Amino acid sequence: MPSSFAVTRRVSLFLVVLLSALAALFVALPPSASATPPNIPSAATAQSELNALTVATEGSLTGYSRDKFPHWITISGTCNTRETVLKRDGTNVVVGGACASTSGSWFSPYDGATWHAASDVDIDHVVPLAEAWRSGANSWTTGKRQDFANDLSYPQLIAVTDDVNQAKGDKDPASWVPSVSGYRCTYAKMWIHVKYHWGLKLQSSEKSALQSLLGTC
C-alpha cells in the first residue's frame, strides 16, 4: 500500500497536469469576435486628421430626410449593405437564400452585449446621417450621400445593439459615447477618420470631446 505522502504527491501532480491542460485550452480558445470596421486609423493619424478638420458652427436640419441618404443598397447578389455588415461583424453567421442572417452571434463593442438574433442588432452609422447633413452633406449630391450611407471602405458602419443605436440617435461625441469606456478611443478614431475622409466639418464642442477621447488611447 502506498504511503500517504505518495498519494498526496500523485494527487498534486494530477492537479498540476489538469490545471496546465485547462490553461492551454483557454489560451487556445479564440476571443469573442467583435465588430471591426475597416481602416481604423492609429491614434497619431487620428490626431493629425482632427487637427486638419474645419471647425464651424453646426448647420441646421432644414431640408433633411433619411431618404436623401439612400440605404441599404445591393452590394452583391441579393445581399444589401446591412446584411453585408452583419456577416462581416458577426461570428458563425449563416444566411438564407435571400441573404438574411438566420443564425450567428454578434458582439456589440458599444455596450459589451452579445446577441444571437440579427433582429437585436442595428447597423450604426458612426457619423449619423443627420449629423453629416448638419456638417456639410446638405450640399452633396444624392449619389454622394448614398455612397456615404453605405460606406464599407471606411469605419462608418458597425453592428451594435439596436437599443444602444437608437439611444445614440444623431448625437455627436460631445453628447454621446459608448458605455464601454475601453472602446471610446476606437470610437473617436472612427468618427474622426470618417469626417476627415468625407470632408465634413465639426463644431468646437465636438472637437473638444474628440480630443479628450483620444487622450484615453
What pLDDT is attached to residue 77?
A: 92
CA 190 – CA 213 distance, rounded (Å): 11
Are 55 and 152 members of one domain? Answer: yes
Are 116 and 154 members of one domain? Answer: yes
Are 106 and 142 members of one domain? Answer: yes
Are 61 and 6 members of one domain? Answer: no
Collapsed DSSP state (helix, strand, coil) of residue 158:
strand
pTM of the model: 0.84
Contacts of 16 (CB under 8 A, 6+ apart): none
Cβ contact 156:145 at 8 Å: no
Q: How many CB atoms are closer than 10 A to CB 151?
A: 21
Count each helix (H run) and each strand (E run) in the chain, helices first.
8, 7
The CA-based angle 187-217-201, given to 5 degrees, is 45
Are 174 and 125 members of one domain? Answer: yes
| Number of independent structural domains in the chain | 2
CA 187 – CA 181 distance, rounded (Å): 10
pLDDT tens by residue, 63-83: 999 999 999 999 999 999 999
Are 58 and 162 members of one domain? Answer: yes
Are 10 and 84 members of one domain? Answer: no
Print the domain residue range for 123. 32-214
Task: Write the DSSP string, 47-103.
Answer: HHHHHHSPB------TT--GGGS--SPEEETTEEHHHHHHHHHSEEEEE-TTS-EEE
Are 83 and 178 members of one domain? Answer: yes
Residue 73 CA, chain-centre distance (Å), reads 20
Q: Give the residue ranges of the chain where pLDDT is below 50.
A: 1-32
Are 3 and 69 members of one domain? Answer: no
CA 192 – CA 172 distance, rounded (Å): 11
What pLDDT is attached to residue 36?
A: 84
Please classify residue 217 by burial: count the beta carbons closer than 10 Å to its beta carbon, then call 0-12 exposed, 13-18 middle and 19+ buried.
Answer: middle
Contacts of 52 (CB under 8 A, 6+ apart): 196
Are 15 and 40 members of one domain? Answer: no
Are 20 and 42 members of one domain? Answer: no
Residue 108 backbone dihedrals phi, psi, to 5 degrees: -95, 110
Could you give the dihedral angle defined by the CA atoms of residues 108, 157, 176 and 41, in that order, rounded to the nearest 10 degrees? 100
What pLDDT is attached to residue 200?
A: 98
